[in-house]
Amino acid sequence: MVKPPSARSTIPGVGRLGLVESAAPDQLATLDWLNVDSVDLLWSLSRAANADLALRTLVRMRECLGEGWTELDAALRTDTGLRGRLFGVIGASSALGDHLAAEPGRWRQLRGDVVLPSRKELTDDLLAAVGAVPDASASESNLVYRAAVTGPEAVLALRTTYRDQMTVLAALDLAAIVENEPVLPYQAVGRHLSDMADAALTAALAVAVATCHPDEECPTRLAVIAMGKCGARELNYVSDVDVVFVAEPADARASRLAGELMRIGTSAFFEVDAALRPEGKRGELVRTLDSHVAYYKRWAKTWEFQALLKARPATGDLELGQRYVDALNPMVWTAAEREDFVPGVQAMRRRVEEMVPPELREREIKLGRGSLRDVEFAVQLLQLVHGRADESLRVQSTIDALTALAGGGYIGRDDAANLTASYEFLRLIEHRLQLQKLKRTHTLPPAEDEESLRWLARAAHMRPDGRLDSLGVLNAEIKRNAHRIRRLHVKLFYRPLLESVARLDKEALVLSPDAAVRQLAALGYVAPENALGHLKALTSGASRKGRIQALLLPTLLEWLSDTPDPDAGLLAYRRLSDAMVDADWYLRVLRDEGAVAQRLMIVLGSSAYIPDLLIKAPDALRLFADGPNGPRLLDATPEEVSRGILASSARYDDPARAVAAARSLRRHELARVASADVLGMLDVPQVCHALSSVWAAVLGAALDAVIRASEAERGEQAPASLAVIGMGRLGGFELGYGSDADVLFVCEPRPDVDETTAVKWANLVADRVRTLLGAPSTDPPLEVDTGLRPEGRNGPVVRTLASYQAYYRQWAQAWEVQALLRAHAVTGDADLGLRFLHMIDEFRYPDGGVSETAVREIRRIKARVDSERLPRGADPATHTKLGRGGLADIEWTVQLIQLRHAHEVPSLHNTSTLETLDAIGAAELLAETDVELLRESWLTATKARNALVLVRGKPTDQLPGPGRVLSAVAQVAGWPGGDANEFLDNYLRVTRRAKAVVERVFGS
C-alpha cells in the first residue's frame, strides 16, 4: 500500500542515503522499503561502505529467498546487530556478497549474539565438511585425520565452509561501520585468520591422507610449520600461507603427501607456499629434522634466520614441529653475530623496496616507502640484535615485539606506540582492500579512481572531520602514517647502535666482569677496573634506566675509545647520568638520536671544561641533535643569545637573582659554544665572537640590575648615566675561554646633579657589579678587570667623560694610548659610550701618528714584557700568549702599525686584530705574505690556547710537552688525526716565521 504524501515526505532522499544509482528507488521498492517504517533500515544501509552494492545484493537475496525474505526483513528491522553485520559485509565485499546471495539462508549465521568460533570449532567445522575422522596414526599431538570425501567434491565443500567462516569474521569486523557494534581489534582479526588457516591446513591434510593412503594408516609423521604472517598469527584476509614441512621419514611418500596438501589447500583456501624451505623452490619439499638442522648450521643465509623468527607448528605432528622450532630457535638468536649481519639486513630491505615499480611506490602499502614491510624489517632487526641477551623479545607477532622492545627500553614508548598505531592502520587498509573482491592486493587505487577510494574510505570507517570529507581524511591519514613509519623506520633501522651491539659477544652484552675488563682494555681504557666500576653503577638494578644504559654502553664505550681520554669521559658520563637520573628524556634522547650520543661521547672524552657545564645546564644536551638546518648547536646566533640573557635577567628586581639568571644562560651558552668547538663546528673567530658576546651580555645584565635596584631604593632616577668600555680582547670581541674582561667605567652626571654625588654613586654601582660577577662559583670565572684605567689600580674605578679627556690629554703614557686602540663600548648607556669613543680618537689616532718618542717607549715596554713577563719555567717557544710568535707578539705588532698609520688609513680604526690585519694588507703597509704569517700565527695560538682550557678545564697558556695532554690538545684543536708531534711541529714552525715578521716591524 502506498503511504499518503505526508508520510512519504519524511523518508530520506536517495542522494542523502549515499545511493547514486538511478535504479536505487526501484530496488528499494522491490524490498518494500520506501516507507516510514523502513527509515531506520535506510539510514543503516546508507552507512554501508558501498550502499548501492549492498542494495543490489539485498535485492538478489530477496529474489533467491522468495517467501523466506519475510523472515530476513523482520529480523533486519529488530536486530541492529544483524543489520550492522549484514550491511557491513555486503557493502564492503562483492565477493562475500556473492557468497551470501548464492545461498541466501546463510544470513542466519549473522543473527543474534554472534561470537568468533574457537580454533577447535573452526577445525571441527572444516573436518565435518569432508566427513573426516582421526586416522589410525593420530594422537593428541599428531593431528592426522582421514577425509571421507576427496577430489573436486572435497575442494568445493572446504571452499564453501571456509568462505562461511570468513563471512562471519568479516561481518563482525565491519559491523561497526554501520551500527554501534563493538570494534574488532586488528590483532583479534589476524589471530582468527591464522586459526582459520591452521584449521584449513588440518582439513587439507585430511583429504591428502585419504587421497595418498586410501587403504592404509598414514605412514609418515608430517609436521606443517607455519611461517610468515601465519606463523606470527597476524594473517591477512587474503594471503599466501608460507609453510615448511618436516617429515619422518622424508621419503617419496612424505613428499607426495605434502604436495597433495598444498594442491588441495591452494584450490580450496589460499596459496600454500613452501618457498621458505631450505634451498627455496629448488630444494626438497620435505626434510627430516636432522637435515633441516644440518642445513641451517652450514648453509643458511641471514634472511632465512630472519624468516625463522615466526616459525610455529601449525598442524600435523605438533610434537615433531615443536622439536623443529626448539632445534632451530637458538640459531635464530645467534644470527646477529654473523659478519655484516646488520648491513646485510639493511641492504635486503633496500632491495625489496627497489623491486616495487616507481609508479606504484606511493600506492604500495606493503613493500613501498613507509609501508608495512618497513615496520616489520625494523622490528625484526631489533629483535635479532637484542634478543640474544633478552628473551622477552623472542615473540612472533609484530605488535607483541613492539611492546616488548618498548618494555625493554630498546625503543622509546612513544615511538613504539606510534609505530603500532601506524602499522595497525595500514593493516586495516590492507584488509579492506582485500575484502572487496577477496583478491590478494596491497596497492591503493590510483588517485583518479575516486569511486574506489571513497569506497575504501567508508570501508575503513573514515569520517569527515569538519575540514575534509571521508576521502580527504583517508588520503591525509595514509600520508601521515606512511611518513611516520618511514621516519621511525630510518631512525630505528639505520642507527649505528645496532651494528655496534651486533659485533659484541654475548658476555660483553651482559657485562660479565672478566669479559668487560678485557674489552675495556682492548678499547684503550687505561684503568679498565675503574671503568668497570662505572659501568656497574650505570647498569645496576633491574630498572628500565639500567636496561637502557646496558643497551647504550657498548656503543658509547666504543665511541669514547676514540677520544683523547676515554677514562675521564666515562667518569664524566657517569656523573652526568647520575645528575640526570630524574630526567626521563635524557636516556631516550641518547638511545633514539644517534648523533646526540656520539657527539656527547666525543665532548666528554675530550674536555674537562664542558662536563660541569652540561651537568648544570642539561638542556644544552638537546642541542647535540640535528635539526632541519643541520646541527642544532649552530642554531643560535650570538645576538639572539645576548637578547635572551638581557631579557631573562630583566625579569628580576633583585640584582643577585638577575645575575643568577644571566649566569644560568651563560652556562648554557658556554656549553653550546664549547661543545660545537670541540666537535669542529665553529672556527676561531666564531668562537671568540660568541664568547665575547655572552660576556658583554652578562656584564650588561648585571649593570642594568644594579641600576634598577639602586633607583628603586632611592625612589628616583639614577644620578648619572653609566657606560662600560671593553678593553683588550673584550674590546676586540676576541675573548677566549680563559680570558678576563678588561673594562673601563665612564659616567656622566644627569643635569642638575652634583658631579661628586654622581661619581660616588657610579663607583658604588661599578663595585657592586664587580662583586656580583666575581662571587665564588663553580662556573668558569667572571672576573671584571679595571687595571687599564687611568692611574692603574691607584686611580678611581669610575670617571666622568670630561675627567677621562683631561687625563688622556695631560697624563696619558704610551702604553695607555696603545690600550685605547682596543676600546669599544660594550654595554650601558650607548650614547655615552659612543661619545667616549669619539673623545679618545684624538689620542689613539693622533694627527701625524704617534711620536717617535712614543714608538721607542712602546719598543722598550715590549722588550721588557718579552724578558720579564714570561712565567718562571715557561717555555718561550710554546707559551701561547707571551711566547715567540704568540698572541702578544702579533697584537703588539698590529697595534704599533695602527699607532703609526691610523691617522692616514681610516680602515685601521678597528679593535679586532684579524680585521685590522685585513686593513694592513689592503693598505699595503706590510707584504701580503707577512700579513698571512701574522694571521696564521694569531689563529694557531688562539686555537691552541682555547684547546688548552677545554682539555684541562682551567685557564692556562703553556702548551705541555709530548704526552696524553698534548695529544688531547691537538685533537681538540682539530689537528688531522690528533697527531701531537705534527701539531707541535706546526705550531713551532708557524710562530717562528711570524716572530721574524714581528722583529722586522719592531726593528724598523
Q: How far apart are CA 462 and CA 469, in angstroms?
A: 9
pLDDT grade for 840, boundaries at 50, 70 and 90: very high
| Cell numbers that stand for 413 in this block | 614508548
What is residue 118's three-state secondary structure? Answer: coil
Mean pLDDT value of segment 102-107: 88
- For the ranges 245-259, 420-434, 446-460, 509-523, the lowest mean pLDDT is seen at 509-523
pLDDT 10s digits, 533-585: 777 778 776 567 777 777 777 778 778 878 889 899 999 999 999 999 888 88
pLDDT 10s digits, 1-47: 333 333 344 455 555 566 666 667 888 989 999 899 999 999 999 99
pLDDT grade for 284, boundaries at 50, 70 and 90: very high
pLDDT 10s digits, 725-754: 999 999 999 999 988 899 999 999 999 899
pLDDT value for 367: 80
pLDDT grade for 103, boundaries at 50, 70 and 90: confident
Q: How far apart are CA 899 and CA 920, in angstroms?
A: 12
pLDDT 10s digits, 123-143: 999 999 999 999 998 888 899
Which is higher by pLDDT, 459 or 493?
Answer: 459
pLDDT value for 550: 73
Residue 295 pLDDT > 50, yes or no?
yes
Please report, for residues 50, 366, 443, 997, the alpha-carbon distance to residue 93 in angstroms, rounded to integers and kept in the order given.
Answer: 9, 21, 17, 89
pLDDT 10s digits, 463-522: 888 888 889 999 999 899 888 888 777 766 655 444 444 444 444 444 445 655 655 665
The percent of residues in the chain predicted with pLDDT above 70, rounded, is: 94
Q: Are 610 and 603 in contact (CB under 8 A)?
A: yes
Residue 226 pLDDT > 90, yes or no?
yes
Which is higher by pLDDT, 180 or 544?
Answer: 180
The percent of residues in the chain predicted with pLDDT above 90, rounded, is: 64
CA atoms within 13 A on the CB side of 632: 15
DSSP bridge partners of 724: 745, 827
Q: How far apart are CA 536 and CA 539, in angstroms?
A: 5
- For the ranges 53-57, 354-358, 606-610, 845-849, the lowest mean pLDDT is seen at 354-358
pLDDT 10s digits, 349-406: 777 777 778 877 788 888 888 888 888 988 888 888 788 878 899 999 999 999 998 8
pLDDT value for 527: 83
pLDDT 10s digits, 68-91: 999 999 999 999 999 999 999 999
Residue 239 pLDDT > 70, yes or no?
yes
pLDDT value for 249: 94
* 3 state SS for 465-509: CCCCCHHHHHHHHHHHHHHHHHHHHHHHHCCHHHHHHHHCCHHHH
pLDDT value for 868: 81
Q: Are 409 and 551 in contact (CB under 8 A)?
A: yes
Mean per-residue pLDDT over the chain, rounded: 89
Please report, for residues 173, 183, 535, 859, the alpha-carbon distance to residue 187 in angstroms, rounded to integers and kept in the order given.
Answer: 11, 12, 40, 86
Q: How far apart are CA 150 and CA 130, in angstroms?
A: 8
DSSP bridge partners of 743: 726
Mean pLDDT value of segment 955-973: 91
pLDDT value for 491: 67
pLDDT 10s digits, 440-456: 988 889 989 999 999 99
- For the ranges 199-208, 404-413, 643-652, 850-859, the lowest mean pLDDT is seen at 404-413
pLDDT value for 19: 65
Residue 589 pLDDT > 90, yes or no?
no
Q: Are 610 and 675 in contact (CB under 8 A)?
A: yes
Residue 94 pLDDT > 50, yes or no?
yes
| Cell numbers that stand for 451 in this block | 569511486
Q: What is the pTM of this model?
A: 0.63
Sequence-distant (6+) residues with CB within 8 A of 932 are: none
